[in-house]
């Protein structure tokens, strides 16, 4: 049975989660009851005797399942930020229940009939733009899963989906098995020359844990990356690089070549079945870019502009390697090593020099001050709401009139139960119902340097930009102002969601902004500008080569998914042809990217890899608008708030962007910022 206190709205300040009384054993029954309540609401829509209308079908569907959403967001947020074995066990029970429930909705034919009836009469309905977007989204939730197909084709689709999920799983298992299989044991200490002490220590511990003598290196990033970046021994760097590059490409039982061909073929068939030309067309229908042509034009335009710079950088790197070690031909296993050496020589930027200027409290207050200058928000720390852990900071956010805008949670330090990385999430979405604007509960979770007995938490510059990045996502949530929860805040197309976060990072490089918070934690001195200049320069170091690399991955992704793959027989040959235009290093026949490209063959990035660069173009172009008018210019800030941050996914992102910027985004701002033109 569900505790009375766990029925929404919670009887707490601002209806925040009552963490104090939630026990782990409450989750399963509460989620089960939430599902039952949502099922009844759906049944109510289906059995409604009135003819289908926007209100009694689309809106009713949108607002169904509130109890379930509240409790499951609390549960999954905790599973990321404060988990334990109990919670993980419950997650294994809960996840299939939730996916079964959501499948039951998508496959509910009577429900779809009503949704379709509304959709087919949309031109007569006099809907607002937001309502049209919602109707479209709900309809596509069914149609993109085959609701419009005849029975035999529906079965075919289910068959494809089943096969695809098995193949994707197999693909991932092979990559993981290949990663775990490889070990490089070093017994001669001189082979460790160049490596940082911490890396050596970790390698020694790893060897000990496997009862081996010496230093053990693997293909896990924390082991692999430092080795190829710092190890002086070129032969060993080569060995490790080739091992990493040939994962699942050895013609053995862990080989992924056939899986790549089958996955792309099935995705293509699936798209055809649903009436799309290719898988890329299917995916991009729900993206800001809209079509494969746009993505290809975008990528090729950037490529053309970045390539001369990349070639110059490569030539300079080759010259540097020649001077330093008499290397005649720069190979793949030399890139990270000489890049790092050159970077040290040019910038000698030491994190330890910067950290005293970035005390955590100063940085977070700096972010608040900037949000105040731009968007009139006030952050006040409060202790009247429950926390899921003592370390969590809780804030009440208000506007200039003093109106309540949002609850904001900030959870900064690593703990045993917290996963790696940094992210923004929400405990409650924003929406307007029965004339009342129900405000959101937003949270950011990070893993920053902890304070010690003698020192406060002093952030690395990377941590500073991470904080601003997540704070940008948070502002997208905090300032949300839409009617429907599924279109609110960060619920936008995938290639648009990083604009609010990445744009905030730009303020970390500006003198006017740094003066507000980057002061020495002991002396109060503002960070010297020559240090800031160095940070800026080093941030764009080898940007040409980096850009080329990112674009090559995006183009490979689009090549696999933007055409009929039936005739592709040779994975490596196909890939080599795609890479021809973007490769700087000599070709290695032992390696293949596609067989271990988990982003697109296992995860959800298929036809979406371009989004990384796309988002950079957006944020650079948008920030240039601020720079032209002044980085705290109120007019530009208001336009950004009114047309982007508050609008969520209520309209096509390109329309929203153009309303803010007055024109479509152009790549020039990024190229300028990156020093490429
Ligand atoms: Zn992000």
Which band of pLDDT confidence, cut at 50, 70 and 90, is reported for residue 99?
A: very high
Ligand 1 centroid to residue 50 C-alpha, Å: 44
The reported pLDDT for the residue numbered 619 is 97
What's the predicted TM-score (pTM) here? Answer: 0.94
Q: What is the pLDDT of residues 440-495, one digit of tens each?
A: 999 999 999 889 889 999 999 999 999 999 999 999 999 999 999 999 999 999 99
Encoded tokens for 246:
């040939």
Q: 404-411 and 393-398 as β-strands: parallel, antiparallel, unpaired?
A: antiparallel
Question: In 44-179, at which residue ranges do the beta strands (DSSP E only) sit?
Answer: none
C-alpha torsion angle, residues 591, 593, 596, 601 (rounded to 10): -150
Confidence at residue 409, expressed as pLDDT on a 0 to 100 scale: 98
Q: How far is the CA of 376 from the centre of ligand 1 (A)?
A: 23
- In percent, the amount of the chain with pLDDT more than 90 equals 94
The three-state DSSP-derived secondary structure of 351-416 is: HHHHHHHCEHHHHHHHHHHHHHHHHCCEEEECCCCCCCCCCCEEEEEECCCCCEEEEEEEECCCCC
350 has pLDDT over 90:
no
Q: Residues in the chain, how many?
A: 677
Q: What is the pLDDT of residue 372?
A: 98
The tally of CA atoms less than 13 A away on the side-chain side of residue 626 is 23
Distance of CA 488 to CAs 1, 108, 493, Å? 32, 25, 12
Q: Classify residue 56 as left (phi > 0), alpha (psi -120 to 50) or beta.
A: alpha
Average pLDDT, the chain: 96
Ligand 1 centre to CA of 387 (Å) is: 24
Average of pLDDT values for 522-529?
95
DSSP structure string for 585-651:
SPP-TT--SGGG-HHHHTSS-TTTTTHHHHHHHHHHHHHHHHHHH-TT-HHHHHHHIIIIITTTTSS
Residue 618 has pLDDT above 80, yes or no: yes
How far apart are alpha carbons 365 and 377 in whole angstroms?
12
Q: Write the pLDDT tens digit of every residue in 18-75.
A: 999 999 999 999 999 999 999 999 999 999 999 999 999 999 999 999 999 999 999 9
SS3 content of the chain, % helix, strand, coil (to 5): 60, 5, 35
Nearest alpha carbon to residue 263 among 662, 7, 483, 568:
568
Radius of gyration of the chain (CA): 26
Mean pLDDT of 327-346: 96
The answer for residues whose C-beta is within 8 angstroms of residue 395's C-beta and 6 or more apart is: 379, 380, 381, 382, 407, 408, 409, 410
Q: Tell me the pLDDT band of 288, cut-offs 50, 70 and 90.
A: very high
Pairing state of beta strands 423-428 and 441-445?
Answer: antiparallel
Report the pLDDT averaged over residues 210-222: 94
> Exposed, middle or buried by CB within 10 Å (0-12, 13-18, 19+), for 469?
buried
Q: Provide mean pLDDT across the span 550-570.
A: 97
| Residue 533 known to be catalytic | no
pLDDT at 310: 96
Cβ–Cβ < 8 Å for 184, 208: no
For the stretch 405-429, pLDDT in tens is 999 999 999 999 999 899 999 999 9
Can you give the pLDDT at residue 662?
97
pLDDT above 90 for 303: yes
Task: Quickly state the pLDDT bin for 172 (edges 50, 70, 90).
Answer: very high
* Distance in Å, CA 72 to ligand 1 centroid: 22
pLDDT at 447 (0 to 100): 93
- The pLDDT value given to residue 324: 97
- Which residues, listed in sequence order, are joined to residue 426 by a DSSP beta bridge? 442
Question: Residue 531 has which token pair?
Answer: 């240090």
Q: Which residues contact 455 (CB under 8 A, 6 or more apart)?
A: none
CA distance 656 to 498: 15
Alpha carbon of 471 to ligand 1 centroid (Å): 10
Ligand 1 center from residue 469 Cα (angstroms): 6
Q: Taking a C-beta distance cutoff of 8 angstroms, is the pair 566, 265 a contact?
A: yes
Q: What is the mean pLDDT of residues 507-525?
A: 96
Query: How would you class 133 by CB atoms within 10 Å of its CB: exposed for 0-12, middle for 13-18, buried for 19 or more?
Result: buried
> Do 385 and 407 form a contact (C-beta atoms < 8 A)?
yes
What is the average per-residue pLDDT within 499-528? Answer: 97
pLDDT higher than 80, residue 1:
no
- Please provide the distance, in angstroms rounded to a whole number, between the alpha carbons at the two ends of the chain: 64
Residue of 395, 361, 387, 369 lying closest to 478 (CA atoms): 395
For residue 292, the model assigns a pLDDT of: 97
pLDDT at 536: 87
CB 65 within 8 A of CB 34: yes
Q: Which of these, 436, 444, 355, lies nearest to 397 by C-alpha position? A: 444
Contacts of 362 (CB under 8 A, 6+ apart): 517, 518, 519, 521
Answer yes or no: is pLDDT of 588 > 80: yes
CA dist 303 → 273, 582, 605, 676 (Å): 34, 8, 21, 11
Contacts of 122 by beta carbon, 8 Å cutoff, 6+ apart: 132, 135
Measure CA 154 to chain center.
Answer: 32
Q: Looking at 82, 470, 543, 575, which residue is catalytic? A: 470
Q: Assess contact for 375 and 641: CB atoms under 8 A.
A: yes
Taking the centre of ligand 1 as the mean of its atom positions, its distance from the CA of residue 372, in whole angstroms, is 21
Question: Tokens for 424?
Answer: 């923004």
pLDDT at 563 (0 to 100): 96
The CA 491 to ligand 1 mean position distance, Å, reads: 13
Identify the pLDDT of residue 623.
98
**Residue 413 vs residues 96, 421, 650: alpha-carbon distances, Å:** 31, 11, 35
The 10s digit of each residue's pLDDT in 74-93 is 999 999 999 999 999 999 99
Q: Of 434, 425, 388, which is closest to residue 9 (Cα–Cα)?
A: 434
Mean pLDDT calculated for residue range 355-362: 97
Is the Cβ–Cβ distance between 61 and 115 less than 8 Å?
yes
CA distances from 606 to 278, 459, 488, 565, 603 (A): 12, 35, 25, 14, 8
**If you ran DSSP here, which 8-state letter would residue 126 be given?**
-
Q: What is the pLDDT of residue 221?
A: 86
Q: Confidence band (pLDDT; 50, 70, 90) for 207?
A: very high
Total Cβ atoms within 10 A of residue 197: 7
Q: What are phi and psi of 111, to 5 degrees?
A: -65, -45
| Residue 501 CA, ligand 1 centroid: distance in Å | 6
Helices and strands in the chain: count of H runs, count of E runs: 27, 9
510 Cα–ligand 1 center, Å: 20
pLDDT value for 362: 98
Average pLDDT over residues 261-285: 98
247 has pLDDT over 90 = yes
Task: Map residue 488 onto helix, strand or coil.
Answer: coil
How far does the centroid of ligand 1 lie from the alpha carbon of residue 470, in Å? 6
pLDDT tens-digit profile of 369-411? 999 999 999 999 999 999 999 999 999 999 999 999 999 999 9
């Amino acid at each position: 049975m569900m505790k009375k206190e766990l029925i929404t709205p919670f009887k707490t300040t601002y209806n925040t989660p009552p963490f104090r009384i939630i026990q782990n054993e409450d989750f399963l029954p509460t989620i089960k009851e939430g599902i039952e309540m949502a099922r009844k609401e759906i049944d109510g829509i289906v059995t409604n005797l009135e003819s289908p209308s926007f209100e009694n079908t689309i809106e009713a569907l949108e607002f169904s399942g509130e109890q379930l959403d509240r409790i499951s967001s609390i549960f999954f947020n905790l599973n990321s930020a404060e988990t334990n074995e109990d919670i993980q066990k419950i997650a294994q029970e809960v996840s299939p229940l939730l996916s079964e429930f959501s499948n039951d909705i998508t496959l509910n034919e009577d429900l779809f009939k009503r949704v379709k009836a509304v959709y087919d009469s949309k031109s007569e309905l006099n809907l607002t733009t937001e309502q049209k977007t919602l109707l479209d989204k709900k309809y596509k939730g069914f149609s993109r899963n085959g609701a419009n197909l005849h029975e035999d084709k529906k079965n075919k689709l289910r068959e494809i989906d089943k096969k695809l999920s098995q193949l994707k799983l197999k693909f991932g298992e092979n990559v993981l098995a290949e990663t775990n299989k490889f070990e490089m044991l070093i017994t001669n200490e001189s082979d460790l020359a160049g490596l940082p002490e911490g890396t050596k220590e970790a390698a020694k511990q790893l060897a000990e844990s496997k009862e081996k003598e010496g230093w053990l290196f693997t293909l896990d990033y924390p082991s692999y990356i430092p080795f190829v970046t710092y190890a002086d021994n070129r032969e060993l760097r080569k060995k490790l690089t080739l091992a990493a590059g040939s994962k699942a490409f050895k013609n053995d039982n862990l080989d992924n070549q056939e899986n790549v061909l089958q996955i792309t073929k099935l995705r293509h068939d699936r798209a055809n079945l649903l009436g799309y030309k290719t898988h890329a067309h299917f995916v991009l229908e729900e993206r800001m870019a809209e079509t494969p042509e746009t993505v290809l034009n975008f990528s090729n335009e950037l490529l053309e502009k970045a390539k001369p710079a990349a070639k110059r950088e490569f030539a300079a790197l080759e010259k540097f390697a020649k001077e330093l070690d008499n290397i005649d031909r720069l190979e793949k296993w030399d890139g990270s090593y000489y890049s790092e050496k050159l970077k040290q020589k040019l910038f000698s930027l030491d994190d330890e020099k910067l950290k005293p200027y970035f005390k955590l409290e100063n940085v977070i207050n700096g972010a608040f001050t900037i949000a105040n200058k731009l968007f009139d928000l006030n952050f006040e720390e409060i202790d009247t709401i429950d926390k899921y852990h003592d370390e969590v900071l809780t804030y009440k956010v208000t506007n200039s009139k003093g109106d309540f805008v949002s609850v904001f949670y900030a959870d900064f330090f690593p703990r045993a139960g917290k996963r790696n990385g940094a992210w923004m999430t929400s405990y409650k979405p924003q929406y307007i119902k029965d004339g009342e604007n129900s405000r959101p509960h937003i949270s950011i979770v990070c893993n920053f340097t902890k304070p010690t007995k003698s020192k406060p938490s002093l952030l690395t510059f990377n941590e500073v930009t991470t904080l601003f990045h997540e704070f940008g996502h948070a502002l997208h949530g905090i300032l949300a102002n839409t009617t429907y929860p599924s279109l609110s805040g960060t619920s936008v197309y995938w290639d648009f969601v990083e604009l609010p976060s990445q744009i905030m990072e730009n303020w970390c490089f500006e003198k006017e902004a740094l003066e507000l918070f980057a002061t020495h934690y002991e002396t109060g001195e503002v960070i010297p500008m020559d240090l800031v200049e160095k940070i800026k320069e080093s941030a764009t170091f080898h940007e040409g080569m980096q850009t080329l690399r990112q674009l090559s991955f995006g183009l490979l992704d689009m090549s696999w998914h933007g055409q009929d793959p039936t005739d592709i027989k040779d994975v490596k040959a196909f890939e080599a042809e795609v890479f021809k235009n973007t490769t700087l290093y000599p070709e290695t026949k032992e390696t293949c990217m596609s067989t271990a490209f988990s982003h697109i063959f296992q995860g959800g990035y298929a036809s979406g890899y371009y989004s990384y660069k796309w988002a950079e173009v957006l944020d650079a172009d948008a920030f240039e608008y601020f720079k032209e008018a002044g980085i705290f210019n109120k007019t530009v800030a208001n336009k950004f708030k009114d047309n982007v941050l508050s609008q969520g996914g209520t309209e096509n992102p390109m329309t929203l962007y153009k309303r803010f910027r007055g024109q479509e985004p152009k790549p020039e701002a990024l190229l300028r910022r990156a020093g490429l033109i």
